[in-house]
Amino acid sequence: MPELPEVETIARGLAATTVGKHIHAIDVFLPKMLITPNKQKINILLGDSITAVSRRAKYVVLNLASGRRLAIHLRMTGRLIFYPNTDVSRPPHTHVSFTFTDGSQLHFADMRQFGRLRLIDVSETWDADGGIEPLSPEFTAEYLWGLLHAHRAQLKNLLLNQNYISGLGNIYVCEALWQARLSPIKLTHTVSRPAATRLHRAIVQILEKAIAARGTSIDDYVDSRGNAGTFQHSLQVYGRTNKPCFRCKDRIVRTIQAQRGTWSCPSCQK
Ligand SMILES: [Zn+2]
């Protein structure tokens, strides 16, 4: 599933390619992929143009000249692919496509069909799931310590909760906990201030490195031009079952936590 670095990479790619383009045609092949307010028709966007592309949590947000926005969540296998040429045949699993006046196209494809494209009207307030952005100035070590001590949850489960912190998923939470030398099942209210500071630094560093590497391509993720990311080559713990820990040489174990595979080192993550 695309997490913050992958969605950020897609948003930056679309910002570079689609800003300023005018929507000439919209084809909807699978209506359930669309969420629109008051049964408004998506065709209200014909003639509108893209003024900016940004990311909020795990959503790519297309900002339009009308003040309307399109917020796209890719869920498991969603893709947003930009084609600069006019002679594009529809790629497999394309459910919505936008054709711009210059002939270029943006396709929203999703093999498993869990993704959604949401039209947000001018007067509508919308703010994803409400969690703090981990790369914002507001997300400090002190903030994280306060968040951890306001709850009694297993560390990994709290970090994955989008209501608290936006954009972290299984890969980057496993990596951050390994870097900070913290067990995924440690209870949040028992994390010391120095440990919270280590964890804060790990989260920020790993997200920034993964964005610089254009995301992690293990399953289906590709960027807005269809290219894979490269951070999978830098993973320290995720997916490394039975391989030696890069820090202490003990074996990495895979456990199941909240129905999800979890990788950690039993020796150096306490
Ligand atoms: Zn270790």
pLDDT averaged over every residue in the chain: 95
Task: Give the rounded percent of residues in the chain with a pLDDT score beyond 90.
Answer: 91
Given this model, what pLDDT does residue 86 score? 77
Given this model, what pLDDT does residue 219 score? 80
pLDDT of residue 172 exceeding 90, the answer is yes
Distance 252 CA to ligand 1 centre (A): 7
pLDDT of residue 165 exceeding 90, the answer is yes
> Distance between CA 202 and CA 174 in Å, rounded?
11
Distance 237 CA to ligand 1 centre (A): 9
> Distance between CA 214 and CA 222 in Å, rounded?
9
Distance 181 CA to ligand 1 centre (A): 8
pLDDT of residue 88 exceeding 80, the answer is no
pLDDT in tens, 205-229: 999 999 999 999 998 899 999 999 9
Distance 150 CA to ligand 1 centre (A): 29
pLDDT in tens, 28-75: 999 999 999 877 889 999 999 999 999 999 999 999 999 999 999 999
> Distance between CA 98 and CA 106 in Å, rounded?
5
Neighbouring residues of 196: CB distance < 8 A, sequence distance ≥ 6: 141, 144, 145, 148
Question: 12, 21, 58, 68: which is the annotated catalytic residue?
Answer: 58
pLDDT in tens, 235-265: 999 999 999 999 999 999 999 999 999 999 9
What is the pTM (predicted TM-score) of this model? 0.95
Task: Give the rounded percent of residues in the chain with a pLDDT score beyond 70.
Answer: 100
In DSSP notation, 103-117 reads S-EEEEEESS---EE
Given this model, what pLDDT does residue 89 score? 80
| Element (DSSP H or E) covering residue 63 | strand 59-64
DSSP conformational letter for 146: H
pLDDT in tens, 16-25: 999 999 999 9
First to last CA, the chain: 27
Could you tell me the pLDDT band of residue 193, with boundaries at 50, 70 and 90? very high
Given this model, what pLDDT does residue 260 score? 94
Distance 198 CA to ligand 1 centre (A): 16
Given this model, what pLDDT does residue 121 score? 93
Given this model, what pLDDT does residue 1 score? 82
Between 36 and 187, the higher pLDDT residue: 187
Q: Which residues surround ligand 1, an ion (CB under 5 A)?
A: 245, 247-248, 250, 265, 267-268
112 is catalytic: no
58 is catalytic: yes
